[in-house]
Amino acid sequence: MEEVRRDPFAEEAARARRALVREIEAYGALRDPAWRAAFAEVPRHLFVPSYYVAGPAGYERLWSGDPDPARRVRWLRGAYRDLALATRVRDGELLSSASQPSLMARMLEALDVRDGQDVLEIGAGTGYQAALLAHRLGDPHVTTVELDPEIAESARAHLAAAGHRPAVVTRDGTRGCPERAPYDRIVATCAMPAIPYAWPAQCRPGARILGPLSTGLVLLDVLGADRAEGRFLAGSAYFVPLRGAGARTPRPRTAGVPRRVYEDEGFRFLVGLVGDRLDLREALALWQRERRPERERFGVTVSGGRQWAWLDDPEGPYAWPLPDL
C-alpha cells in the first residue's frame, strides 16, 4: 500500500487557498462551480516547492525546506499569491514558470470543457494546470506534454503528490501527442508565433484550441482536420515562449516609435502579432487609423496548410501570414 506523507503546511495552505479563490472571484472569474471547486481543493504549494523572486541582486530562491521559519512562511504565502512564479532559471534566463492563477481560471473557463471530454495541455510546467484539469475531468481525460525531461519529471512528481496521475509525455509540444488523440480541447501555456498544424489535425470536429499569441489569447474553433478559426479574448497574457521545432518568436523592431506609444499594450499586441511582416510605420498608421483596435477585433484562421492573423474579417483587407509550425 502506498504511504501517504502528511503535509505539514496543509492547514495554513488551505486558508491561503480560500483567500486566493476569493481574490480570483473578485476579478470576475470562477463563475463555474466546478472550476471554483478545483481551485479551492488543488494545493498549489505542492506544485511550487521552490520558486524564484526577482530582487535587486537577481533572483532569490524560496523553498519549502528552508531552515529559516520566516522564509518558509514567505514561500508558502507566495505560493498562493495571484502572481506568476518563476520556477526554473538558468544563467539568468527564465525557463519555466507557474502561471498567474486568475489568468489560468480565465483560460480554463474559456475552454468550456464538458464531462467526458479529452484535453491536451502543451507545456506541463509545474503540473498545476494539469491537476486542475484532472480534478475537473478525471486523470484519464488529461494529457500534458513537456519538452524538457527534467520539467516533465518534476510535473509528474508534483501531480502524484497531489493525488493525480494524468499522462505526462516528454516531447516537442508543436507535434502534439497523436497516440492519445483525438482531443476535444487543446490549451497551451507558452507563447507561440503561430498555431502548429498538428494540433487541429489531432482534434475532433467542434473542438477548441486556446493559446497565447503575441500578448493575447486566441480561442479557435476546430472546423476540420486542417481548418480552425477564432478571435482573441479580451485582456493581455504573458507566457514563457514555446520551445520546439521552428518555435522561435521574432523580436519586433521598435526603432522610431515613441516610447509612450510602444508601451501601450494594444500597440505592443499588434506589433507582436504581425512581427516583421508589417513595416513598423505601417503598423502605427493602422493602429491609429482603426482607433486603437482592441484585441477582440483580431483573429486567426488556419486553413489548407496556411494560416494568417486578421483584423475584423478573415477575408478583409487587413491580414498577415503567420509562420508555419
Arithmetic mean of pLDDT, 161-183:
97
- The DSSP line for 215-232 is TEEEEEEEEETTEEEEEE
Arithmetic mean of pLDDT, 33-53:
96
pLDDT tier for residue 136 given thresholds of 50, 70 and 90: very high
The domain segmentation of the chain, as residue ranges, is: 10-232, 259-321
Sign of CA dihedral 63, 68, 74, 77: positive
Most distant CA atoms of the chain, gap in Å: 67
pLDDT tier for residue 325 given thresholds of 50, 70 and 90: confident
Tell me the average pLDDT of the chain.
90
Please give the Cα distance from 185 to 206 (Å, whole number). Answer: 9
pLDDT tier for residue 95 given thresholds of 50, 70 and 90: confident
pLDDT tier for residue 97 given thresholds of 50, 70 and 90: confident
89 vs 205: which has the higher pLDDT = 205
265 vs 202: which has the higher pLDDT = 202
Please give the Cα distance from 168 to 144 (Å, whole number). Answer: 5
Q: What is the pLDDT of residues 138-147, one digit of tens each?
A: 999 999 999 9
- What does the buried/exposed string (b/e) look like for 299-322 if buried means 16 or more CB atoms within 10 Å of the residue's CB? bbbbeeeebbbbbeeeeeebebeb
Arithmetic mean of pLDDT, 105-132:
97
Look at residue 90 in the predicted model and tell me its pLDDT: 77
Please give the Cα distance from 136 to 142 (Å, whole number). Answer: 10
Please give the Cα distance from 286 to 243 (Å, whole number). Answer: 31
The one catalytic residue in 96, 97, 102, 214 is 96
C-alpha distance from residue 218 to each of 8, 79, 132, 230, 265 (Å): 40, 28, 21, 7, 16
Q: Cell numbers at residue 160, please?
A: 502524484
At 163 the three-state DSSP class reads: coil
Arithmetic mean of pLDDT, 188-216:
95
Is the CATH number of domain 10-232 3.40.50.150? yes
Known catalytic membership, residue 102: no
- The DSSP line for 43-93 is -GGGG-SEEEEEETTEEEEEETT-SSHHHHHHHHHHHTSSS-EEEEEETTE
Residue 251 has pLDDT above 60, yes or no: no
Arithmetic mean of pLDDT, 111-118:
97
End-to-end CA distance of the chain: 45
The dihedral over CA atoms of 324, 105, 127, 193, expressed in degrees to the nearest 10, equals 10
Residue 246 has pLDDT above 70, yes or no: no
7 vs 118: which has the higher pLDDT = 118
Residue with cell 539568468: 92
Residue 2 has pLDDT above 50, yes or no: no
pLDDT tier for residue 63 given thresholds of 50, 70 and 90: very high
Please give the Cα distance from 201 to 105 (Å, whole number). Answer: 26
Arithmetic mean of pLDDT, 34-49:
97
Residue 207 has pLDDT above 90, yes or no: yes
Q: Cell numbers at residue 124, please?
A: 506541463
Lowest-confidence range among 88-92, 302-306, 313-317? 88-92
Residue 278 has pLDDT above 90, yes or no: no
Is beta strand 203-213 parallel, antiparallel or unpaired with respect to 216-224? antiparallel
Residue 247 has pLDDT above 60, yes or no: no
